[in-house]
Structure 1
Amino acid sequence: MSDLTNKTVGSIRKFFSLRTFFLLISILAQMTFIIGVILWFTEYTAYFYGFSLLLSLIAFLWVMNSKINPAYKIAWIIPIMMLPIFGGLFYLFIGRGKIKRKTAAKMKAYESLTEKALRDERLNTETYLENLALLNTDASIQARYINDYAGYPIYPDHESEYLAIGEKKYDRLIEALEKAEKYIFMEYFIIEEGIMWNRILEILQEKAQNGVDVRLIYDDVGCLFTLPKGYDKKLEAMGIQCTVFNPLRGIISLRLNNRDHRKITVIDGHTGFTGGINLADEYINEIVKFGHWKDTAIMLKGPAVWNLTVMFLTMWDYLRGVEEDFNQFKPNFVDFTKDTIASKDLGRGYVQPFADSPLDNESVGETVYLNLIYKAKKSVYITTPYLIIANEMVTALCAAAKGGVDVRIITPHKWDKRLVHTVTRTYYKTLVENGVKIYEYTPGFMHSKTFVVDGTYGVVGTINMDYRSLYLHFECGVWMVNTPSVQELKSDFLETLKVCQQITKKDFSKERWYTIIKGSILRVFSPIL
């Protein structure tokens, strides 16, 4: 039996594992019970029917007057109006995108630790912003927004390296992990046992045994089909501190909507990684799932890594229910700069690692993307696995293209989620007809999430161009201006175009009528997919 067949069989077994089976049965039982109770009551009294209508009306008014994106409103208003008995009830259970107030208040308290830990750096930001404004006003405006509304300061780029493929990130990550002396912090959406994770785990276990503080956060939904239940306990037994984000309990909950989609590694506070790459073998093309897997990351060294460190520690302390002095993890950047950076060119531009969370009404990731598009003068180059965007983003892309900006977007040719890819393709026609150039990555799956604008600005991170990433998930990225990494990012994009297939107006005439109808229906509900 081939390795691929073995992997497929293994995935099927994981899908039907006891944990997954009981979770699905539990959720289905709860939904069946709720529907059964409703139907039972409707047989005996008209009062309950009236109550259901009132509940749906309240849900309708709640949605209409909320601050959520209009497309998200429409996606819920339709089922509420079509199914007045069930619609309002289901919206109350799973429709509200925000975390419960109690949970949000608790995490907000921990976010004050972020503000405290970054206070000194934010004071330095004023000097950096003033210097940046002299060179580039648009860049200083963007950087100030991230500083003021996301709370993460900007730094001169001491050393950043754009990692154009998962294999390269893996090599750099292994090198950095092996050099760890004090601590290793890792936060990932997906982890799966295999060549990549098993090698990393060997290093983590060895480092933990040698006194290095090793901590890991993984998302329970992201790892539902990749890790067994209680895997965190197994890691704890190895000396690796582990915490699971939003553990699944088999109960219908709003928590399922909010996931930790970040991918962060921090080593000793001076070396950090983020980007789209999870810790599973398809990300380094050791196995084939959807053809060749194209993904990217960025490695930072120097003071800017402190932003990533604080992101991790805030999440860690919240999940563990502890409160630490973050400064104990802050390296002496003066010595680091003197030892490793002094001989290098410090006129390398600026980097600004930032986080986005669903705790507030500030969609940082979306605003960063929109600002980049609206400020573009020559080119906007984007890679994204999913293209399910609100009208504001469509308008911005089309307006830029109409104004003569070279707007190009690369999406996957081979999909990982059929319905999501179907919806992605429904956006092609409007964009292409307005001058946006769409390409599909023909060798396989494009999982990279990057922006490069005018060869001057760049973003590498975890933020997809879809509703979940932009509004519901915990995300992160690195915004850059005038760094060597931006040029590397641009070169990689142009090189990738050589193996992409451009979508043209002729392609739309080949679409089947039923495909168009299916796509149109799915697009209405895309914000809640």
Structure 2
Amino acid sequence: MEHRKINKPEHKGKKGLAAFLFSRIFIFGLMVALQVGVFMALAYNASLSKGMSYCITILQILVVIYIVNDKSDPTMKLIWVIFIMIVPAFGILMYLYFMLQPGSILLKKKLEHIDVRSDRYLIPDQNIYNDLQIQDKQVSMIAKYVYDNTGCPVYRNTEVTYFNCGEAKYKALIEQLEEAQDFIFMEYFIIEEGRVWNSILRVLEKKVQQGVEVRVMYDGLCSLTKLPVGYFKKLRRKGIKSKTFAPARPFFTTQQNNRDHRKVLVIDGKVAFTGGINLADEYMNIVERFGYWKDTAVMLRGDAAKSFTLMFLQMWNVTEKTIGNFDRYLDIDIPYKFPNNGYVIGYGDDPFGKEHVGESVYLHIINTANRYLHIVTPYLVIDNVMMSSLKFAAKRGVDVKIVMPGIPDKAYAFCLARTYYSELIEAGVEIYEYTPGFTHAKMFISDDEKATVGTINLDYRSLFLHFENGCFIYKNKTILDIEEDYQQMLKDSKKVSLIECRNRPVLYKACGKVLRLLAPLM
């Protein structure tokens, strides 16, 4: 496989230890660590008192009983129980602190209120649903499930274009932005100043001058590592409506976990982009960080773009005092006609919903696969349900393959992911590592009939803690393009053998097993 020459990242300003010590991320981490230290000191002093020790023991028993009977993920419950048993006072204090976060409670209530208000906007077409039920009852059931939990219906009249790299998406993105006439909505986990963002920003500035409404929202962690503090104010001065989702503040809080990991771009409510590609130079291979950056995305033209408009508006209004009216952006005529082009379901996921929609869509594809199930993911940190489903699919004769990075972006995450390899391979799952570099794509493909492309990694953070989104595609010709690209990925990858897994250094395997204890936090 040929890859064009890419540049090494430029390093500006101070270098070395001094630069790190004065960096925003170090100061942020130091302040959080100090707060944890205060909690530890309070817990230690409380445990010194004999009377308090008895109270802590009673409270320890009660909290463990509560956790065991809670409806949360079993692995997460196990970690909390172990933590509380080892360091009772500190563990109980941390658990109560996390469970009683006022910010998270208020955010959950606001989201529930927005969801109720959103119900009236996208009404399912019963004829589409009936036709889908005739073609495949299982798919009609997942369509109903997604709508019931996200408000996003199944659509037909949609053209799907697949991009097998960031460079291809970037070109199409610029072309579509140039065509915008009414509004542009952008919601990205990462936006970073550089050639990619600067060129996009120039187009956005021009569109604002032409009277197009432009909104840009990015996750708060950008202000720690990617963008200047208060960068959204700079965008506002250019006429762009902008905000930071969940600004990173130096406080020890569970809200730091609930990042906006979505990648959504909507143009005039008629065109939408999603996938794994953020707006930074490495995603387009302008600079090199971990070899060749392999990523994917899709562009939707037609009815299904409305779901991504709704998702954006829901997230935008989370931090607004009043919920605006969505009609102007959703009650629009779609000029495109794409008959006989399958079905598309856009869907979002959030950490406060009763259902884990992203995981459920993945499990649907796994459990209904007949011939093959092909997966690409940058991380592999899965719970027992996902593990059992993957193993059972392989054992019942489905060709199950997973492509992982050959050059990881996080060494500890890669070490942890490899602890799952042996069990999967023994069950018949084939695992490959992409030798040219890092795979950041998040895709499932099955039987030339189903696929999903989106932002959801196979790890706890994406599946349970982050705001995410995806695009489920059924019987659309683009699925063949996705599978063709997957086959090319396999050619560029090295198959991992069971012997290789067993022969890894003892210390490396031991570190992986220790990290499994912290898996739900990674």
Name the TM-score, length of structure 1 as normaliser: 0.93
2:311 and 2:361 map into 1 onto residues whose CA distance is 18
Q: Which of 27, 32, 40 is the matching residue for 2:32?
A: 27
2:111 and 2:502 map into 1 onto residues whose CA distance is 50
**1:192-231 mapped onto 2 (5 Å cutoff):** 192-231=192-231
Q: The residue matched to 1:301 in structure 2 has which SS?
A: strand
2:424 and 2:486 map into 1 onto residues whose CA distance is 19
1:10 and 1:413 map into 2 onto residues whose CA distance is 31
2:409 corresponds to 1:416: yes
2:495 corresponds to 1:502: yes
1:257 and 1:175 map into 2 onto residues whose CA distance is 35
Identify the residue that residue 176 of structure 1 maps to in structure 2: 176
2:24 and 2:55 map into 1 onto residues whose CA distance is 37
2:428 and 2:357 map into 1 onto residues whose CA distance is 27
Unpaired stretches in structure 2, ≥5 consecutive residues: 1-5
Q: Which of 394, 397, 400 is the matching residue for 2:387?
A: 394
Identify the residue that residue 3 of structure 2 maps to in structure 1: none
Q: The residue matched to 2:247 in structure 1 has which SS?
A: coil
Is 2:9–2:287's contact at 8 Å kept on the other side of the alignment? no
Identify the residue that residue 481 of structure 1 maps to in structure 2: 474
**1:58-73 mapped onto 2 (5 Å cutoff):** 58-73=62-77
Range that drifts further, 16-25 or 473-482? 16-25
2:473 and 2:9 map into 1 onto residues whose CA distance is 42
Matched length: 516
2:188 and 2:20 map into 1 onto residues whose CA distance is 20
Residue 319 of structure 1: CA displacement? 1.6
Over 3 Å counting, the alpha-carbon distance change for 1:427 and 1:224 in structure 2 is same
2:479 and 2:431 map into 1 onto residues whose CA distance is 21
2:83 corresponds to 1:79: yes
Is 1:277–1:297's contact at 8 Å kept on the other side of the alignment? yes
Residue 183 of structure 1: CA displacement? 0.8
Amino acid at match of 1:407: V
Identify the residue that residue 342 of structure 2 maps to in structure 1: 349
2:61 corresponds to 1:57: yes
Is 1:187–1:312's contact at 8 Å kept on the other side of the alignment? yes
Residue 32 of structure 1: CA displacement? 1.9
1:238 and 1:24 map into 2 onto residues whose CA distance is 32
2:102 and 2:425 map into 1 onto residues whose CA distance is 34
1:241 and 1:457 map into 2 onto residues whose CA distance is 37
Among the aligned pairs, what percent are the same residue? Answer: 38
Residue 258 of structure 1: CA displacement? 0.8
Residue 515 of structure 1: CA displacement? 1.9
Is 1:426–1:519's contact at 8 Å kept on the other side of the alignment? yes
**1:90-109 mapped onto 2 (5 Å cutoff):** 90-94=94-98, 100-109=104-113
Identify the residue that residue 143 of structure 2 maps to in structure 1: 143
1:236 and 1:55 map into 2 onto residues whose CA distance is 50
Residue 158 of structure 1: CA displacement? 2.5
Q: The residue matched to 1:68 in structure 2 has which SS?
A: coil
Amino acid at match of 1:22: I
Amino acid at match of 2:148: D
Residue 157 of structure 1: CA displacement? 4.0
Is 1:80–1:86's contact at 8 Å kept on the other side of the alignment? yes
Unpaired stretches in structure 1, ≥5 consecutive residues: none
2:20 and 2:213 map into 1 onto residues whose CA distance is 33
Over 3 Å counting, the alpha-carbon distance change for 1:53 and 1:196 in structure 2 is farther
Q: Which of 374, 378, 383 is the matching residue for 2:376?
A: 383
Range that drifts further, 265-274 or 140-149? 140-149
Amino acid at match of 1:91: Y
2:61 and 2:186 map into 1 onto residues whose CA distance is 45
**1:173-229 alpha-carbon deviations (Å, 9 max, x no partner):** 111111111111000111111111111111112212322111111111255211121
**1:110-129 mapped onto 2 (5 Å cutoff):** 110-118=114-122, 121-122=123-124, 124=125, 126-129=126-129
Range that drifts further, 376-385 or 17-26? 17-26
Q: Which of 426, 434, 452 is the matching residue for 2:427?
A: 434
Name the TM-score, length of structure 2 as normaliser: 0.94
1:80 and 1:327 map into 2 onto residues whose CA distance is 49
Residue 327 of structure 1: CA displacement? 1.1
Amino acid at match of 2:314: T
1:245 and 1:128 map into 2 onto residues whose CA distance is 35
1:179 and 1:402 map into 2 onto residues whose CA distance is 49
**1:365-399 alpha-carbon deviations (Å, 9 max, x no partner):** 11111111111110000000011111111111111
**1:304-361 alpha-carbon deviations (Å, 9 max, x no partner):** 1110001001111122223221111136325x13xxx3xxx51010101011111122
2:333 corresponds to 1:333: yes
Q: The residue matched to 2:204 in structure 1 has which SS?
A: helix
1:24 and 1:105 map into 2 onto residues whose CA distance is 29
Identify the residue that residue 52 of structure 2 maps to in structure 1: 48
Q: The residue matched to 1:49 in structure 2 has which SS?
A: helix
Amino acid at match of 1:499: D
2:212 and 2:500 map into 1 onto residues whose CA distance is 56
Over 3 Å counting, the alpha-carbon distance change for 1:377 and 1:8 in structure 2 is farther
Residue 25 of structure 1: CA displacement? 2.9
Residue 15 of structure 1: CA displacement? 5.4
**1:2-46 alpha-carbon deviations (Å, 9 max, x no partner):** 963633768978855553343223212212222223334444x22
Q: The residue matched to 1:64 in structure 2 has which SS?
A: helix
Over 3 Å counting, the alpha-carbon distance change for 1:69 and 1:113 in structure 2 is same
Residue 267 of structure 1: CA displacement? 0.6
Q: Which of 441, 464, 472 is the matching residue for 1:471?
A: 464
Range that drifts further, 187-196 or 503-512? 503-512
2:248 corresponds to 1:244: no
Residue 363 of structure 1: CA displacement? 0.7
Is 1:59–1:88's contact at 8 Å kept on the other side of the alignment? yes
Residue 47 of structure 1: CA displacement? 2.8
Amino acid at match of 2:127: T
Range that drifts further, 180-189 or 103-112? 103-112
2:81 corresponds to 1:88: no
2:504 and 2:406 map into 1 onto residues whose CA distance is 16
Is 2:377–2:439's contact at 8 Å kept on the other side of the alignment? yes
Identify the residue that residue 162 of structure 1 maps to in structure 2: 162
**1:95-134 alpha-carbon deviations (Å, 9 max, x no partner):** 789973332112211122321211xx32x1x211211122
Residue 476 of structure 1: CA displacement? 0.5
2:451 corresponds to 1:458: yes
Is 1:192–1:223's contact at 8 Å kept on the other side of the alignment? no
2:291 corresponds to 1:287: no
Report the RMSD for the aligned CA atoms in angstroms: 2.1
Q: The residue matched to 2:119 in structure 1 has which SS?
A: helix
Q: The residue matched to 1:224 in structure 2 has which SS?
A: helix
Over 3 Å counting, the alpha-carbon distance change for 1:53 and 1:507 in structure 2 is same
2:205 and 2:78 map into 1 onto residues whose CA distance is 49
Q: The residue matched to 1:239 in structure 2 has which SS?
A: coil
Residue 151 of structure 1: CA displacement? 2.3
Is 1:19–1:229's contact at 8 Å kept on the other side of the alignment? no
1:11 and 1:201 map into 2 onto residues whose CA distance is 29
Range that drifts further, 273-282 or 75-84? 75-84
**1:140-176 alpha-carbon deviations (Å, 9 max, x no partner):** 2222221223321011043110111111111111111
2:345 and 2:412 map into 1 onto residues whose CA distance is 34
